Amino acid sequence: MEAPEREGAAGVTVWYDGGCPICTREVGLMRRLDRRGAVVFRDVSQAGDAADLPKPPQTLLARFHAAQDGRLYEGAAAFALVWRNIPPLRWAGRLAMAPPVLWLLERAYDGFLRIRPALQAVARRSLGGGARR
């Protein structure tokens, strides 16, 4: 993988599904907590040129991905990376990187991904719209 463009203080870039109401709310929360601007959030659903992406768009839309210093993380490890770079969440990111905790978080994330479509449908109805996927 080619090194991502270094943006933000820590050079952390996140690729997320902007068509997912759950994802956009979570990214919104992380943006509000990231007062230093250490993390750059990129909406894959709005990406114009797939050549600028580290993986095919469908792969990035299927799981949470983040990169720092040329290394791409996915799933629970990507969440841990992002949390470590947002001061109010730093403790959670450090805890998440402990091997047994990361293993548990990855299993939980896999479970979430299995029910994500149903949760998205509920979120769209309760939030009054949002992009459909």
Residues 6+ apart with CB under 8 A from 13: 4, 5, 7, 39, 40, 42, 66, 67, 68
Q: Tell me how far CA of residue 133 lies from CA of 26, 80, 86, 91, in angstroms.
A: 17, 26, 29, 34
Find the mean pLDDT for residues 46-50: 75
Percentages (nearest 5) of helix, strand, coil residues in the chain = 55, 15, 30
pTM of the model: 0.81
Sheet order of strands, 71-74 included? 39-43, 12-16, 65-68, 71-74
Question: For residue 133, what pLDDT is reported?
Answer: 42
Domain spans of the chain? 12-127
Q: What is the DSSP secondary structure assignment for residue 5, as one 8-state letter?
A: P
Q: Tell me how far CA of residue 45 lies from CA of 20, 58, 60, 66, 120, in angstroms.
A: 9, 9, 9, 16, 15
Residue 131 pLDDT greater than 80, yes or no? no
Question: For residue 78, what pLDDT is reported?
Answer: 97
* Percentage of the chain modeled with pLDDT above 90: 66
Cβ atoms 8, 38 nearer than 8 A? yes
Q: What is the DSSP secondary structure assignment for residue 11, as one 8-state letter?
A: -
Residue 81 pLDDT greater than 50, yes or no? yes
Find the mean pLDDT for residues 77-87: 96
Which band of pLDDT confidence, cut at 50, 70 and 90, is reported for residue 9? Answer: very low
> Comparing 93 with 7, which gets the higher pLDDT?
93
Beta bridge partners of 43: 16
Q: Among 36-40, 92-96, 116-120, whose mean pLDDT is lowest?
A: 116-120
